[in-house]
Structure 1
Amino acid sequence: MINNKEQYIYHIKDKNEVMNMRRVLDKIEIVEDKHMVQATDFLDPYEVKLAKSILNRFGHISYVEDGGLFNAERKILIIYPDYMEFDLEESPIAPLSIRGNIEGLKHKDFLGSLLGLGITREKIGDILIHEDNVQIIVSSDISDYILFNLRKVGNNNINIEYINRYDLKEGIEIYKELITNLSSLRLDVAISSSFNLSRNDSLNVIKNCKVKVNWEPVKKPFFELKEGDLVSVRGHGRFVLYSIFGATKKDRLKVGIRIFK
């Protein structure tokens, strides 16, 4: 038993992340008490960081990350007793390939169709878009259900099959590039410019807890962005501030933004 679980999560302020990390602690407890291998659901990079900060405080367990690809965005953590060895071939993830009438479909279309089957986001890893197919990585416990029930993405008929994890490859990033001048690097300013929102609307999405920077929830409109920061806004999409070119003659900042489609 883990005594006083609160000591491991007291520093986490976001309620959703508190619940996620409680689940991680539950997994650790099972590994320690029953000497069983346990795996989390898919976590984003911020959640992985939080989970690892907890896992590293336990001396008798080991863990590995797995998202199918080394550079996967969403990963599971597989936790096991430190006297054991774990082979990724036994990892509880399943890669699937979608082919058929997929031209013009976007990441949100595939994610929406999966969620439409009643699957929660936590069971879905990366969705990798390619020219002739789309690869999706999911939890193995719901992979058969997807295989037998996913017949359309949007209004398009598709075919779906299992593939080997070693056939996975990096997806193509589709984005619109925007070169613009900002009054500052404040989060609300960048959101307004990227999604053509009024300043009030950008303030509202931040205050309503719909914004993450580098996957971490941010509630401060005056948060200063840095070059390379990834911003996601629920209901609008996400963008990366990929370059800060410098100040203009009117003391504004010329920046490069990539808005992902």
Structure 2
Amino acid sequence: MLKDIYGHFHSDEHHFVDKALDWVERAAGQHVVKLTDFLDPRQAFILNSLVNRNADVHCRFDGGYDAAERRRALIAPDYRVLEGEDMAMAVLSVSSGDGKFLTLEHGDYMGAILGLGMKRDKVGDIHVIEGGCHCLVTQDAADYLHLNLSQVHRVHVQTELLPLEQLQLAKVQLEELHLSVASMRMDGIVSDVFRLSRAKILQPIQAGRCRVNWKLEEDPSKPLKEGDLISLQGFGRFKVLEVEGISKKGRIRVKIGKYA
């Protein structure tokens, strides 16, 4: 059965498949309730797929707000009511009174948190807002971060723990690009978006640094479609917003939304 399950996922995902399958089997066979750390959308998809294979188990996903990207999962026997269960999250508010936050970005906050020895799984979505950021964290990591996070990229900061109701969301900013491409091949579109040559874009793709809809993608020729979210480690991410049509010369017009 495990071999059959593995066939649906990339080899790099098998370790997580093993963990998720163990959570599901424990919920079904031993009536164990499991609250995970934060999962990315691909991990959530894998877990949900495994839960759906077992009629005796169900789960709830929650990232602190409706549109959360990273979410915790609560896995339990099917008879247990999950609505209203405490998902053990807090909002870590990071702020400074010196006005230097204008230059700080998502990666700066993430780097400062990981620099304290914190695992990525303990951190949910990070919202960069005016004067600082609001970060979703697991309850068991909240106090440690509150006490120890005092500097972000050489800027001294203060932290405060807030309830979920006080979470402030960042405004998603997309830079619209209009491309004219010969095909919807991933390597061609990625090279145009990040303004790199095809030759230079092949190396990070084949090195496993590219994901499509959070799934590792090493095939440069993979065709992209409307709605796909592509991320390239070290460069950023973008979304295929619309395939606008075909030009008179037979080229495809594509509208891209590049995340700021």
TM-score (norm 1): 0.90
Q: Are the aligned partners of 2:101 and 2:132 in contact in 1 as well (CA < 8 Å)?
A: yes
Q: Are the aligned partners of 1:102 and 1:158 in contact in 2 as well (CA < 8 Å)?
A: no
* 1:64 is aligned to 2:60: yes
Map residues 248-259 of structure 1 onto 2, 5 A cutoff: 248-259=247-258
* 1:27 is aligned to 2:26: no
Q: Are the aligned partners of 1:12 and 1:18 in contact in 2 as well (CA < 8 Å)?
A: no
Corresponding residue for 1:40?
Answer: 36
CA distance in 2: counterparts of 1:9 and 1:40, whole angstroms: 21
Aligned residues: 257
Corresponding residue for 2:245?
Answer: 246
Q: Identify the range of structure 1 (122-131 vs 31-40) with the bigger mean alpha-carbon deviation.
A: 31-40
Corresponding residue for 1:226?
Answer: 225
Map residues 141-156 of structure 1 onto 2, 5 A cutoff: 141-156=140-155
* 1:110 is aligned to 2:109: yes
Which amino acid letter does the alignment assign opposite residue 254 of structure 1?
Answer: R
Deviation at 1:194, TM superposition (A): 0.9
Corresponding residue for 2:191?
Answer: 192
* 1:73 is aligned to 2:72: no
Q: Are the aligned partners of 2:62 and 2:72 in contact in 1 as well (CA < 8 Å)?
A: yes
CA distance in 2: counterparts of 1:10 and 1:52, whole angstroms: 15
Among 81, 84, 92, the residue aligned to 1:85: 81
For the residue of structure 1 that corresponds to 2:176, the secondary structure is strand
Q: Are the aligned partners of 1:39 and 1:77 in contact in 2 as well (CA < 8 Å)?
A: yes
CA distance in 2: counterparts of 1:249 and 1:170, whole angstroms: 43
Corresponding residue for 1:16?
Answer: 12
Q: Are the aligned partners of 1:245 and 1:254 in contact in 2 as well (CA < 8 Å)?
A: yes
User: Which whole-Å deviations, capped at 9, do the CAs of 1:83-102 have from their partners, x for residues lacking one?
Assistant: 32235451122221112242
Corresponding residue for 2:121?
Answer: 122
For the residue of structure 1 that corresponds to 2:171, the secondary structure is coil
Stretches of 4+ aligned residues off by more than 6 angstroms? none
CA distance in 1: counterparts of 2:37 and 2:4, whole angstroms: 19
Deviation at 1:75, TM superposition (A): 0.8
Q: Identify the range of structure 1 (121-130 vs 176-185) with the bigger mean alpha-carbon deviation.
A: 176-185
CA distance in 2: counterparts of 1:12 and 1:116, whole angstroms: 35
Q: Are the aligned partners of 2:72 and 2:87 in contact in 1 as well (CA < 8 Å)?
A: no
Corresponding residue for 2:165?
Answer: 166
CA distance in 2: counterparts of 1:154 and 1:189, whole angstroms: 35
CA distance in 1: counterparts of 2:188 and 2:227, whole angstroms: 16
Percentage identity across paired residues of the two chains = 34
Which amino acid letter does the alignment assign opposite residue 242 of structure 2?
Answer: S
Corresponding residue for 1:99?
Answer: 95
Deviation at 1:118, TM superposition (A): 1.6
Would the alpha carbon gap of residues 165 and 148 (structure 1) be closer, same or farther in structure 2, given more than 3 Å must change? Answer: same
Q: CA RMSD in A?
A: 2.0
CA distance in 2: counterparts of 1:106 and 1:29, whole angstroms: 40
Deviation at 1:160, TM superposition (A): 1.3
CA distance in 2: counterparts of 1:159 and 1:7, whole angstroms: 50
Would the alpha carbon gap of residues 65 and 83 (structure 1) be closer, same or farther in structure 2, given more than 3 Å must change? Answer: same
CA distance in 1: counterparts of 2:117 and 2:214, whole angstroms: 24
CA distance in 2: counterparts of 1:148 and 1:258, whole angstroms: 38
For the residue of structure 1 that corresponds to 2:116, the secondary structure is coil
